[in-house]
Homo-oligomer: A and B are copies of this chain.
């Protein structure tokens, strides 16, 4: 099966610590690489993970708190120094271009590639990005400023032709594309051979949802129904549910409630408050609700399946 994985570069919250840096991830779908959020230190994390900076085609920014985007100017500069020529597309909330364009103009004046900002309406679940094999949709989140998550989903592929059935029915190779797209085969003598005995269904599509930062919000559940992997912020444990309410963050238990309600196969929690030296309290509270929960950590690779 083609690769689809998420690499955690940083999963701390606003205050960087020796354990967790600010938020950033790389989503690698069939060797196409996308970044989600870009806190300070992201480029150092890319170095550690030995990721080629210029394989990253697009960056999706959830919101404009510094811990989710202040790594952008340095990353964009370094991409230029590393010889990037292809445009970099950056998707994010409305203010993004007005905040970052002056910095880029000042600090990255000799870029030989274009930085193209695309405004995402963070209040809507809408298509943000599409290519021949995947889509990215926004997921409206509720935080202290305009904020959205992102849903990466493979497109439905073609049906798989069964070679031994082609042989048995003496079907010419020229018909393969028709069979893959679901058409029946009509033999020269007029006999119709139904597609579903010649092929098997397309590989099931896989999806990944990034939801950070957000308060507990059930309204996102329909958008992330049956997602394979859900990354959901879990800034606090039950002991600090009042802080979660106050700052529009979630507890680990609330993240797990969302995972359970949307039918996720796996939950990854992150964006830990620096008050939790030992995050097992967060993991345990989440697991009480949703067993297949894991703690994010810097360098973690999550297979989406």
Contacts and interface: CB of A to CB of B under 8 A. Distances in A.
Interface of A: 14-18, 21-22, 40-41, 43-44, 47-48, 64-67, 70-71, 73-74, 77-78, 81-82, 95, 99, 102-103, 106-108
A15 B99 contact: no
B16 A70 contact: no
A297 to B, nearest CB: 16
A78 B22 CA distance: 12
A99 B78 CA distance: 19
A16 B103 contact: no
B40 A71 contact: yes
B95 A106 contact: yes
Nearest to A72: B70
Nearest to A99: B106
Query: Which among A16, A40, A41, A107 has the greatest number of chain B C-beta atoms within 10 A?
Result: A40
A40 B74 contact: yes
A39 to B, nearest CB: 8
8 residue pairs, one from A and one from B, having the closest CB atoms: A66-B107, A40-B74, A66-B77, A70-B74, A18-B47, A99-B106, A15-B81, A70-B73
A95 B106 CA distance: 10
22 contacts: A14-B77, A15-B78, A15-B81, A16-B43, A16-B74, A16-B78, A18-B44, A18-B48, A21-B44, A40-B41, A40-B43, A40-B44, A41-B41, A41-B44, A66-B77, A66-B107, A70-B73, A70-B77, A99-B102, A99-B106, A102-B102, A103-B103
Contacts of A15: 78, 81-82
Contacts of A22: 74
A13 to B, nearest CB: 10
A74 B82 contact: no
B99 A103 contact: yes
A248 to B, nearest CB: 15
A275 to B, nearest CB: 12
Nearest to A106: B99
B81 A73 contact: no
A44 B16 CA distance: 7
Nearest to A66: B107
Contacts of A40: 40-41, 43-44, 71, 74
A21 B44 CA distance: 8
A70 B100 CA distance: 12
Contact of A66 (B18, B73, B95, B99): B73
